[in-house]
């Protein structure tokens, strides 16, 4: 292990030395390390003087820590440039092949490059923070709370890891620096949202929330590093010379994975779908746990946000409820269609978000109905009512179909999102993703859509009757 790291550090040292030989990188680092913090210092001093005139020191109190975060962030933005260049730059300059011929393992090469892209900007960032703090101490005598300083340093570090790990994934999967730079938007845009969110937290002075931001970024960075390692391979570095989108190949790959060896729909249901489901054991388990956690989370909210008891009496179901639904033309094919499409839309949005978040956001969206069920059930219990009639009347009839559909959809989304973190030997990242997309398609088309349709039919035609029967007495 130590030997492994030593070889990775050989790469890191060479890269860092090379970085420090390039004035195009050194110059902005120096500016952002020495001049920019001094500028921020000046800004902070002027802000303090200005707000003191109006007896509003709060603004300055909030601005100084915010500027501290900004001073730390700006130098690490350089890491993006270095990281984006790390693999694809060498590939473009044709200097990668001797490295690939060496006895270095893929992980050593990847780790070495990752550290090399991270260390110089991080050191610059720490220096920038020091320059800013020393300047502030000398000029206005301000020192940060130790915990805030730790938070800012931790935040800066994880932001660097996050950006670099994302950029190295991009760099190792593209074939030109130009393509890597274009794809960098997928890192820059989320990072800018993140910084805006952190800025709000800083001005809001809810510094404890920063720990969650740090934790979240650590997790995402960990997943990105895993993705990079899973899909980094020597062959890809040399095998493809051009970034080409081969739609015909992609379509064929998707269709063959979707159809499998089945020659009829019945055969497909008999052989292919069960095969996919047997591969979904872990995502199904994780989704089931997620749904249970959702119910528990919903129940826990009832304490903080109780529903007034008068709203939980279901009196409305006593008279004219069914007639009301008929007036609204709820009992119709259009009603079924509306409910079905609503669920499909939710599943599609969850899938889209899942693709960009390793499946996590998709799962979170799909467990929201469970949160609502848990919340209402807990409120009924808190108001002294019996939860079972509510569950039996309003949840179970269509829930028998809808909850398994949610479970299956969540598992398919998780599997699709997690594809990026799991190594697929002998497959490119695109090919592995297409195979996962085909599995997602199998479950969605083969099971989730029909189950949602059944649930919608039951929800429109049967659930109201059962609800009136049980709760309308």
| Residue 336 CB, nearest approach to other proteins (Å) | 45
From 6-14, 261-269, 329-337, 432-440, span contacting other proteins (CB under 8 A): 6-14
**Which position among 1, 2, 21, 185 is part of the footprint of other proteins (CB under 8 A)?**
21
Residue 239 found at the interface with other proteins (CB under 8 A): yes
Q: Which residue has the tokens 């009992």?
A: 331
Residues 68-97 contacting other proteins, CB under 8 A: 94-97
**Which position among 52, 212, 249, 462 is part of the footprint of other proteins (CB under 8 A)?**
249
Spell out, one character per residue from 115 to 134, where the chain touches other proteins: x when CB under 8 A holds, - when not.
--------------------
Q: Which is nearer to other proteins, 6 or 261 (CB)?
A: 6
Are 370 and 289 contacting, i.e. CB atoms less than 8 angstroms apart?
Answer: no
Of the chain, the end-to-end C-alpha distance in Å amounts to: 70
Are 118 and 9 contacting, i.e. CB atoms less than 8 angstroms apart?
Answer: no
- How far apart (Å, rounded) are the C-alpha atoms in residues 257 and 272? 10
**Which position among 24, 323, 426, 473 is part of the footprint of other proteins (CB under 8 A)?**
426
- How far apart (Å, rounded) are the C-alpha atoms in residues 380 and 41? 56
**Which position among 98, 146, 308, 384 is part of the footprint of other proteins (CB under 8 A)?**
98
Q: Which of 357, 454, 375, 461 is nearest to 413 (CA)?
A: 357
From 12-20, 172-180, 374-382, 385-393, span contacting other proteins (CB under 8 A): 12-20
- How far apart (Å, rounded) are the C-alpha atoms in residues 274 and 191? 40
Residue 105 found at the interface with other proteins (CB under 8 A): yes
Give the three-class secondary structure for 303: helix
Angle at 195 between CA 190 and CA 196, to 5 degrees: 95
From 123-131, 177-185, 238-246, 304-312, span contacting other proteins (CB under 8 A): 238-246
| Residue 237 CB, nearest approach to other proteins (Å) | 8
Residue 16 found at the interface with other proteins (CB under 8 A): no
**Which position among 4, 58, 102, 143 is part of the footprint of other proteins (CB under 8 A)?**
102
| Residue 20 CB, nearest approach to other proteins (Å) | 10
Q: Which of 387, 405, 420 is nearest to 458 (CA)?
A: 405
- How far apart (Å, rounded) are the C-alpha atoms in residues 170 and 143? 39
Please list, in sequence order, all residues whose beta carbon lies within 8 angstroms of the beta carbon of residue 418, skipping any fewer than 6 positions away: 283, 358, 359
Q: Which of 328, 354, 322 is nearest to 436 (CA)?
A: 354
- HSE (side-chain half, CA atoms, 13 Å) at 173: 21
Q: Which is nearer to other proteins, 94 or 263 (CB)?
A: 94
Q: How far is CA 389 from CA 78, 158, 299, in A?
A: 60, 49, 17
| Residue 239 CB, nearest approach to other proteins (Å) | 6
Q: What are phi and psi of 195, to 5 degrees?
A: -65, -40
Q: What is the residue-wise DSSP string for 109-167? A: HHHHHHHHHHHHHHHHHHHHHHHHHHHHHHHH-----HHHHHHHHHHHHHHHHHHHHHH
**Which position among 32, 104, 360, 468 is part of the footprint of other proteins (CB under 8 A)?**
104
Q: Which is nearer to other proteins, 248 or 263 (CB)?
A: 248
- How far apart (Å, rounded) are the C-alpha atoms in residues 389 and 344? 28
Residue 384 found at the interface with other proteins (CB under 8 A): no
How many chain residues touch other proteins (CB under 8 A)?
Answer: 27
**Which position among 35, 238, 267, 292 is part of the footprint of other proteins (CB under 8 A)?**
238
From 3-11, 64-72, 167-175, 377-385, span contacting other proteins (CB under 8 A): 3-11
| Residue 440 CB, nearest approach to other proteins (Å) | 24
| Residue 82 CB, nearest approach to other proteins (Å) | 14
| Residue 233 CB, nearest approach to other proteins (Å) | 9
| Residue 428 CB, nearest approach to other proteins (Å) | 10
Residues near other proteins (CB under 8 A) are: 7, 10-11, 14, 17-18, 21-22, 94-105, 234-235, 238-239, 246, 249, 426
């Amino acid at each position: 292990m130590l030997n492994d790291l030593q070889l990775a550090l050989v790469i890191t040292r060479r890269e860092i030395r090379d970085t420090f030989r390039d004035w195009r990188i050194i110059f902005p680092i120096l500016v952002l390390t020495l001049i920019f913090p001094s500028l921020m210092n000046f800004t902070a001093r002027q802000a303090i003087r200005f707000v003191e005139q109006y007896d509003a020191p709060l603004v300055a109190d909030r601005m100084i820590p915010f500027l501290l975060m900004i001073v730390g962030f700006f130098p690490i933005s350089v890491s993006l440039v270095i990281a984006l260049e790390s693999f694809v730059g060498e590939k473009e300059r044709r200097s990668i092949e001797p490295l690939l011929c060496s006895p270095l393992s893929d992980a050593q090469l990847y780790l070495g490059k990752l550290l090399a892209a991270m260390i110089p900007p991080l050191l610059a960032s720490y220096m920038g923070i020091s320059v800013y703090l020393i300047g502030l101490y000398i000029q206005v005598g301000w020192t940060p709370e130790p915990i805030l300083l730790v938070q800012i340093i931790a935040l800066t570090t994880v932001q660097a890891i996050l950006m670099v790990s994302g950029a190295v994934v991009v760099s190792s999967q593209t074939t030109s620096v130009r393509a890597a730079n274009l794809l960098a938007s997928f890192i820059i845009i989320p990072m800018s949202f993140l910084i805006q969110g952190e800025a709000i937290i800083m001005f809001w002075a809810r510094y404890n929330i920063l720990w969650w931001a740090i934790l979240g970024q650590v997790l995402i960075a960990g997943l990105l590093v895993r993705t990079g390692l899973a899909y980094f391979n020597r062959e890809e570095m040399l095998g493809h010379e051009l970034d080409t989108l081969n739609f015909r190949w992609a379509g064929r790959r998707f269709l063959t994975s979707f159809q499998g060896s089945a020659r009829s729909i019945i055969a497909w249901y008999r052989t292919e779908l069960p095969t996919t489901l047997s591969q979904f054991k872990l995502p199904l388990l994780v989704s089931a746990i997620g749904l249970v956690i959702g119910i528990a989370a919903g129940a826990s909210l009832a304490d903080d946000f109780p529903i007034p008891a008068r709203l939980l009496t279901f009196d409305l179901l006593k008279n004219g409820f069914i007639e009301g639904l008929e007036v609204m033309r709820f009992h119709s094919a259009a009603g079924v269609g509306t409910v079905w499409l609503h669920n499909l839309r939710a599943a599609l949005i969850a899938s889209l978000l899942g693709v960009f978040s390793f499946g996590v956001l998709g799962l979170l969206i799909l467990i929201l109905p469970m949160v609502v069920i848990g919340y209402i059930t807990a409120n009924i219990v808190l108001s002294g009512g019996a939860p079972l009639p509510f569950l039996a009347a309003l949840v179970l009839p269509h829930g028998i179909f809808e909850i398994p559909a949610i479970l299956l959809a969540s598992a398919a989304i998780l599997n699709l999102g997690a594809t990026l973190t799991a190594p697929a030997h002998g497959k490119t990242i695109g090919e592995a993703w297409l195979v996962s997309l085909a599995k997602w398609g199998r479950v969605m088309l083969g099971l989730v859509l029909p189950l949602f349709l059944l649930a919608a039919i039951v929800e429109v035609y049967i659930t109201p009757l059962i609800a009136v029967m049980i709760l309308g007495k």
